[in-house]
């Protein structure tokens, strides 16, 4: 196993017209870490995560995953690297009209033979993996339901199953609990923690809630205005460090 799972050097992302959403970040994440990216909304957390798998194109800097360079990778290499990084979104981003199982099967697209997948056919092995992932998030009985008939919390579990179906080594989760009832925050974070342990994954989760970061992270990375302003274990988050991350206003 490589010593560094994700290596970010001098990452800069300028969004049009000229907002430096990520402004020179260096970070090395080791396998098995549970990293929480902490910061106020607009601090650059989402852009940072999306630059890791190039859903947003970095302006400058280098991103390596498992030792291979993501930035500058050609199409085929980029797809292979994306496959290694499951992604979970704030708005779940399920295809609402498709069944739960089809949504999870979409996680296998990076592995499935391209032509049959275009007519909706997946190998039996892929279907087995998808069902197994659904079972792992506790929704085995929901396979045939339409995705938009599920509650928000259930939809996010399906989205996690889709990410798992990629057989990833990393899961990137962008504010996975921000559009859910606060009562569900714990259950989604617990689920992420459990699958991390069961599958030996590396987790990078963005959060704006300090309490959640403290409860789950093995390492906290603080972003403010696109710059890395804190990097350390959760118990190193002194009131002064928190003030640096959140600015003058008190943390939520």
Question: What span, in angstroms and rounded, lies between the C-alpha atoms of 175 and 179?
Answer: 8
Cβ-based neighbour number of residue 64 at 10 Å: 18
Give the binding range for other proteins (CB under 8 A) out of 7-15, 112-120, 136-144, 178-186. Answer: 112-120
Query: Does 114 contact other proteins by CB under 8 A?
Result: yes
Residue by residue, DSSP assigns 38-99 as E--TTSSHHHHHHHHTTSS--SEEEEEETTEE-TT--HHHHHHHHHHEEEE-TT----TTSB
**Based on CB atoms, which residue is closest to other proteins, 96 or 194?**
96
Question: What span, in angstroms and rounded, lies between the C-alpha atoms of 142 and 121?
Answer: 20
Give the binding range for other proteins (CB under 8 A) out of 61-69, 82-90, 217-225, 226-234. Answer: 82-90
Q: How many residues bind other proteins (CB under 8 A)?
A: 31
**Based on CB atoms, which residue is closest to other proteins, 195 or 245?**
195
Residues 6+ apart with CB under 8 A from 188: 153, 156, 157, 160, 176, 177, 180
Could you say which of 11, 22, 43, 85 contacts other proteins (CB under 8 A)? 85
Query: Does 8 contact other proteins by CB under 8 A?
Result: no
**Based on CB atoms, which residue is closest to other proteins, 64 or 82?**
82
Which one, of 202, 200, 249, lies nearest residue 224 by Cα? 249
Question: What span, in angstroms and rounded, lies between the C-alpha atoms of 224 and 122?
Answer: 43
Q: How far is the CB of 93 from other proteins (least distance, A)?
A: 4
* Residue whose entry in the numeric block shows the structure tokens 């498709």: 98
DSSP structural state of residue 146: B
Are the C-beta atoms of residues 216 and 34 closer than 8 Å to each other?
yes
Could you say which of 44, 107, 222, 226 contacts other proteins (CB under 8 A)? 107
Question: 207: part of which helix (H) or strand (E)?
Answer: strand 202-207
Q: Annotate each residue in 34-53 with x if it binds other proteins (CB under 8 A) or - if it does not, as one string.
A: -------------------x
Q: How far is the CB of 17 from other proteins (least distance, A)?
A: 19
Query: Does 230 contact other proteins by CB under 8 A?
Result: no
Query: Does 87 contact other proteins by CB under 8 A?
Result: yes
Respond yes or no on whether the N-terminal peptide bond of residue 60 is cis (omega within 30° of 0).
no
**Based on CB atoms, which residue is closest to other proteins, 8 or 210?**
8
Could you say which of 66, 86, 176, 222 contacts other proteins (CB under 8 A)? 86
Residue ranges binding other proteins (CB under 8 A): 53, 55, 79-83, 85-87, 89, 91-98, 106-110, 114, 117-118, 120, 159, 162, 166
């Amino acid at each position: 196993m490589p010593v560094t799972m994700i290596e970010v050097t001098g990452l800069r992302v300028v969004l049009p017209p000229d907002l430096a959403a990520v402004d020179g970040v260096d970070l090395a994440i080791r396998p098995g870490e549970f990293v929480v990216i902490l910061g106020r909304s607009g601090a650059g957390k989402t852009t940072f995560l999306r630059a890791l798998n190039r859903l947003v194109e970095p302006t400058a800097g280098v991103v390596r995953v498992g030792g291979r360079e993501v930035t500058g990778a050609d199409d085929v290499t980029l797809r292979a690297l994306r496959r290694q990084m499951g992604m979970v979104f704030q708005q779940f981003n399920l295809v609402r009209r498709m069944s739960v199982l089809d949504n999870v099967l979409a996680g296998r697209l990076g592995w499935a033979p391209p032509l049959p997948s275009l007519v909706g056919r997946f190998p039996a092995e892929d279907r087995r993996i998808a069902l197994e992932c659904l079972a792992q998030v506790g929704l085995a009985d929901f396979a045939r339901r339409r995705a938009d008939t599920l509650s928000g919390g259930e939809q996010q579990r399906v989205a996690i199953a889709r990410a798992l179906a990629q057989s990833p080594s990393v899961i990137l989760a962008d504010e996975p609990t921000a559009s859910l009832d606060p009562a569900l925050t714990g259950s989604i974070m617990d689920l992420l923690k459990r699958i991390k342990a069961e599958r030996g994954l590396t987790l990078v989760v963005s959060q704006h809630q300090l309490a959640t970061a403290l409860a789950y992270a093995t390492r906290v990375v603080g972003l403010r205005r696109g710059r890395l302003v804190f990097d350390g274990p959760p118990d190193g988050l002194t009131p002064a460090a928190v003030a640096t991350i959140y600015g003058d206003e008190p943390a939520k």
